[in-house]
Amino acid sequence: MEETKDQVARKRMNDRAYRERCKKNKMETQRNLELLSKENDRLRGENASFKTEAVRTGKTLQSQEQEMRQLRKTIVLLKQRHDKQNTLVGVLSERLARANNADLQRENSQLKSNIVLLRSQVNDRNNLDKLQLQEKNAQLEHEKSLLEVIVQALCEKISDEKGHEGDHAG
Angle of CA points 96, 100, 102, to nearest 5°? 115
In this predicted structure, the answer to whether residue 12 has a pLDDT above a threshold of 90 is: yes
pLDDT per residue over 16-67, tens digit each?
999 999 999 999 999 999 999 999 999 999 999 999 999 999 999 999 999 9
> If we measure between CA atoms, which residue out of 159, 148, 157, 136 comes closest to residue 98?
148
- Non-local CB neighbours of 43 within 8 Å, separated by 6+ positions: none
Report yes or no on whether pTM surpasses 0.95.
no
pLDDT per residue over 69-127, tens digit each?
999 999 999 999 899 888 888 888 887 777 777 777 888 888 888 887 777 766 566 66
- Tell me the torsion sign for CA atoms 119, 123, 124, 129: positive
Return the beta strands (E) in 13-62 as ranges: none
